[in-house]
């Protein structure tokens, strides 16, 4: 029975692929080519294919292939799989902002026409834009609540960055491990201590998405390394307490926007109270410098 089901799925996916190619090449391009100069016909065909036809075909394909209800990836505005969920912090919005500010990370500007144009200019000129906006990814049926970034080599094209979605601790404990966990559309109050569900990745340049060929940031495939880097930075600054590792929910087996290598683990840590942070950071520096003092003394 399972073999027959997989065979039917593959036939349907193959049929969708054939239909998509036919639609783009023999309908969209031919129509545009008859009415526009060749170069404009190609541009119009690319725009309709990358931002209209392909995302919709891919969504249909994912509905055919996806049998799990609890994703471990965020989704794009087109409904396609986005960055993987790989970090969770516990604390208030104020604590979250303070700990990343102390690390030298900047909060991302809201996405707007003005900030998008600023990002384009920064890309073209290769000039720093510390608070560059993020594209919107979705979790719990809503876009990210907040995002932070750290430029690499002062370049707008390379950066460490993370998006966070707030989730009520009460709702999380009541729905953990079920599909209901991912349906928390309402944002908790800003002053509430919550779970900050995060998707951390490292941008390395610019590229096209694998599935729909849309223009986007190129990202480092190893999201485990980015998660570990962020945890190490937070630990070094005394911003978090003990880190626990959890397995993500059931993963999507196909259709990632970028090809990611991940171990399926999510790091969860509690943000430390403000008064304790400097003491923990100082103690950590002393522990790390102890071997150097011993070597010098020996």
Whether the predicted model's global pTM rises above the 0.85 cut = no
| pLDDT greater than 60 at residue 130 | yes
pLDDT tier at 162, thresholds 50, 70, 90: very high
Whether the CB-CB separation of 220 and 226 falls below 8 Å is answered with: yes
| 6-10, 19-23, 184-188, 208-212, range with greatest mean pLDDT | 19-23
Q: Give mean pLDDT, residues 100-107.
A: 92
Kindly indicate the confidence band of residue 104, based on its pLDDT and cuts at 50, 70 and 90: very high
Beta carbons within 8 Å of 240's beta carbon, 6+ residues apart: 89, 99, 231, 234, 269, 270, 271, 272
For 1-15, 18-32, 129-143, which range has the lowest pLDDT when averaged over its residues?
Answer: 1-15
pLDDT of residue 253: 30
**Which pLDDT score is estimated for 146?**
94
Q: Lowest mean pLDDT: which of 70-84, 103-117, 124-138, 188-202?
A: 70-84
Domain boundaries, the chain: 2-65, 73-283
From CA 255, how far away is CA 82, in angstroms rounded?
9
State the pLDDT confidence band at 251, using cuts at 50, 70 and 90. very low
Cα–Cα dist 154/106, whole Å: 13
| Greater model confidence, 68 or 120 | 120
Over 70: is that where the pLDDT of 195 sits?
yes
Query: Per mean pLDDT, which range of 71-75, 135-139, 140-144, 181-185 is the poorest?
Result: 181-185
Mean pLDDT, range 260-274, rounded to an integer? 72
- Mean pLDDT calculated for residue range 1-6: 71
Token pair 């541009």 in the structure block, residue: 43
Section 142-154 average pLDDT: 89
pLDDT for position 62:
56
CA distance 133 to 110: 6
Better-predicted residue by pLDDT, 108 or 242: 108
Q: How long a stretch of residues is the chain? A: 298
The pLDDT of 222-235, averaged and rounded, is 88
Q: Which of 43-57, 130-144, 210-224, 261-275 has the highest mean pLDDT?
A: 130-144
Per-residue pLDDT, 39: 87
Rounded distance between C-alpha atoms, residue 277 and residue 88, angstroms: 18
């Amino acid at each position: 029975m399972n073999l027959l089901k997989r065979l039917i799925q593959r036939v349907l996916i193959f049929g969708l692929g054939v239909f998509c190619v036919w639609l783009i090449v023999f309908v969209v391009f031919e129509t545009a080519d008859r009415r526009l100069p060749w170069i404009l016909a190609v541009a119009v065909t690319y725009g309709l294919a990358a931002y209209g036809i392909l995302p919709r075909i891919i969504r249909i394909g994912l509905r055919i292939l996806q049998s799990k209800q609890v994703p471990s990836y965020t989704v794009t505005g087109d409904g396609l799989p986005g960055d993987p969920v790989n970090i969770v912090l516990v604390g208030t919005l104020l604590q979250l902002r303070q700990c990343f500010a102390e690390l030298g990370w900047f909060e991302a500007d809201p996405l707007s026409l003005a900030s998008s144009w600023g990002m384009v200019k920064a890309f073209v000129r290769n000039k720093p834009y510390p608070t560059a906006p993020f594209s919107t990814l979705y979790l719990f049926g809503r876009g990210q609540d907040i995002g932070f970034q750290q430029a690499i080599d002062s370049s707008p094209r390379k950066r460490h960055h993370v998006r966070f979605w707030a989730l009520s601790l009460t709702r999380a404990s009541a729905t953990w491990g079920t599909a209901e966990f991912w349906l928390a559309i309402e944002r908790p109050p800003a002053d509430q201590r919550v779970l900050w569900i995060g998707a951390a990745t490292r941008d390395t340049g610019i590229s096209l998405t694998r599935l729909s060929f849309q223009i986007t940031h190129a990202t480092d495939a190893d999201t485990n390394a980015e998660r570990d880097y962020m945890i190490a930075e937070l630990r070094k600054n005394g911003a978090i307490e003990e880190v626990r590792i959890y397995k993500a929910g059931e993963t999507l087996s196909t259709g990632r926007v970028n090809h990611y290598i991940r171990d399926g683990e999510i790091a969860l840590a509690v943000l430390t109270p403000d008064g304790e942070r400097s003491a923990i950071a100082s103690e950590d520096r002393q522990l790390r410098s102890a071997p150097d003092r011993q070597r010098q003394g020996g």
